[in-house]
Amino acid sequence: MNVFITGTGLMTCLGNNVKTVFQRVLKNESGIQFMEPWSHLKGQNCLLGGPVLSYDVSFLDRTVRRSMSRMSELASLASLSAVNQAKLEIHSLTPGRAILCLGSTTGSPETLEAFHKKYFSKGGPEGQLSVSFLKSMNHSVASNVALALSFSGALLAPCSACTTSSQAMILGWELLQTGLYDVVIAGGADELHPNSAAVFDIVFAASTHFNDQPQKSPRPFDVHRDGLVVSEGAGVVIMETEAHMRRRNAEPLAQIKGGSYLVDGQHMTQPQQTMMEQTMRSALFRANVDAKDINYVNAHATGTKLGDTTEARATYSVFNSKTPVSSLKGHLGHSLAACGAIEAILAIEMMKNNVLICTRNLDQIDPDCIQLRHLQHHENEQVKIVMSNNFAFGGISTSLILSNV
């Protein structure tokens, strides 16, 4: 069954709509900045982050907003943009044949911090607001987006940290293949919090040497890379079957050819090359596409020593040195649960604009990553089919294949 994307929406540190973000990425801008408040936290070594600068959700009713953390607000705005672009009438969807499939890494860390701070200062749960739980439960983003869209239907909240939204999209593709659904609203969101950076710093995977030069980090595949930089955002796509799209005369933006998500079952944090390869090959098989037909690979490449090298080797084993590869983390940082959908959306823009965006901050390719055809400058090329890869703690790999229409 053919599956198309008819709407996209995103919120990122480089802007709050697809057009702006793509223009800024084209200008090779970075959304990374020094996070001054973090410098006062004991043991906080990574002081860089990519915050969404400003947005407004005041148009939403208070009873819709009250249970929203920052990540739910970001997800709601991205979802509304995607629905608007797709011209999807939420109320006209057949009950039970549409599914909302959105996740985040955890419940809101900002809310959890406030909850626990109060809990320990009061010596118990006295004085906690009821909405605290609604902001910190694991399916908070999905449920809040349902409220924002007035969506009634099926709901899933997939959760796999940095592969959350890519997995949501692939899961959506699978669900549409069953014939049980017509439409999937898929994506993910995460909010910036010092703990997110600290989680990576604890395992020496966060950037710590560029605190005085924020925009020089992260540096995917670069010999001087020293770790990732956490950002925040949301990415949401409207996916629908060809029949449903045609019935309502909607315009396709891209086709989802297929995808795959696999866990290695070997290690929680050390990426396994064989599983990355297997995921890419599985996605190609499911999409019925040959590796030689992929015109561009959007790498996960966050700028960590081990992750980038392992990914480069896995990607080389599938594509050799012919296929152009780049990562968008140098522009946007690592928005965790949101990054997969955001990168897929920007890969669609690359196809539409016949331009491949280079890896920002890739000044000197690491000899351990040298095998690939790295994009150090944008290239104007006709791009028909792309693969977008993401990897997460927990040993999860996702590989998504999109084609231009």
Partner 1 sequence: MNKQEIIQAVNQALMQGFEIPTHKLLPQANLFADLGLDSLDAVDMVVLLEDRFQMKVDGERVQSVRTLQDVYDLVGEVASRRS
Least distance CB 67 / partner 1 (angstroms): 8
Distance CA 334, CA 232 (A): 7
Nearer CB in complex with partner 1: 116/267: 116
Active site residue 300: yes
Nearer CB in complex with partner 1: 66/378: 66
Least distance CB 112 / partner 1 (angstroms): 18
Distances (CA, A) of 186 to 103, 104, 158, 395: 9, 12, 10, 22
Q: Kindly tell me which residue out of 54, 92, 121, 130 binds partner 1, with binding defined by CB under 8 A.
A: 130
Nearer CB in complex with partner 1: 130/380: 130
Q: Count Cβ atoms below 10 Å from residue 389 Cβ, excluding itself.
A: 28
Q: Is 293 exposed, middle or buried, given 0-12, 13-18 or 19+ CB atoms closer than 10 A?
A: middle
Helix (H) or strand (E) holding 98: strand 98-103
Residue 131 interacts with partner 1 (CB under 8 A): yes or no: yes
Per-residue three-class SS string for 338-405? HHHHHHHHHHHHHHHHCEECCCCCCCCECHHHCCCEECCCCEECCCCEEEEEEEECCCEEEEEEEECC
Please tell me which residue in 101, 159, 193, 300 is annotated as part of the active site.
300
Least distance CB 140 / partner 1 (angstroms): 14
Residue 143 main-chain phi, psi, to 5 deg: -65, -40
Residue 129 interacts with partner 1 (CB under 8 A): yes or no: yes
Nearer CB in complex with partner 1: 72/327: 72
- The stretch near partner 1 (CB under 8 A) out of 60-68, 138-146, 183-191, 289-297 is 60-68
Per-residue three-class SS string for 248-276? CCCCCCEEEEEEEEEECCCCCCCCCHHHH
Nearer CB in complex with partner 1: 42/62: 62
Least distance CB 54 / partner 1 (angstroms): 20
- The stretch near partner 1 (CB under 8 A) out of 1-9, 17-25, 128-136, 234-242 is 128-136
Least distance CB 129 / partner 1 (angstroms): 5
Yes or no: say if 111 and 132 are a contact pair by the CB < 8 Å rule: yes
DSSP state of 107: S
- The stretch near partner 1 (CB under 8 A) out of 102-110, 122-130, 243-251, 305-313 is 122-130
Distances (CA, A) of 387 to 150, 235, 304, 325, 380: 33, 17, 21, 10, 18
Please tell me which residue in 13, 334, 339, 374 is annotated as part of the active site.
334
| 36 Cβ neighbours under 8 A, 6+ residues apart | 47
Residue 127 interacts with partner 1 (CB under 8 A): yes or no: yes
DSSP state of 334: B
Least distance CB 60 / partner 1 (angstroms): 12
- The stretch near partner 1 (CB under 8 A) out of 22-30, 35-43, 123-131, 362-370 is 123-131
| 198 Cβ neighbours under 8 A, 6+ residues apart | 43, 44, 46, 206
Query: Pattern of binders to partner 1 over 61-80, x per CB under 8 A?
Result: -xx--x--------------
- The stretch near partner 1 (CB under 8 A) out of 8-16, 125-133, 183-191, 378-386 is 125-133
Residue 370 interacts with partner 1 (CB under 8 A): yes or no: no
Yes or no: say if 8 and 345 are a contact pair by the CB < 8 Å rule: yes
The site for partner 1, by CB under 8 A, has a size of 8
Residue 209 interacts with partner 1 (CB under 8 A): yes or no: no
Least distance CB 189 / partner 1 (angstroms): 23
Say which residue the tokens 């599983």 belong to: 275
- The stretch near partner 1 (CB under 8 A) out of 121-129, 230-238, 360-368, 382-390 is 121-129
Nearer CB in complex with partner 1: 128/273: 128
DSSP string across 174-233: HHHHTTS-SEEEEEEEE---HHHHHHHHHTT-B--S-TTSGGG---TTBTT---B-BB-E
Yes or no: say if 71 and 190 are a contact pair by the CB < 8 Å rule: yes
Q: CA angle, 159 as apex, 72 and 24 as ends, to 5°?
A: 55
Nearer CB in complex with partner 1: 128/208: 128
Residue 128 interacts with partner 1 (CB under 8 A): yes or no: yes
**Which amino acid is residue 389, in one-letter code?**
N
Nearer CB in complex with partner 1: 63/150: 63
Residues with a known catalytic role: 162, 300, 334
Which residues of this protein are in contact with partner 1, per CB under 8 A?
Answer: 62-63, 66, 127-131
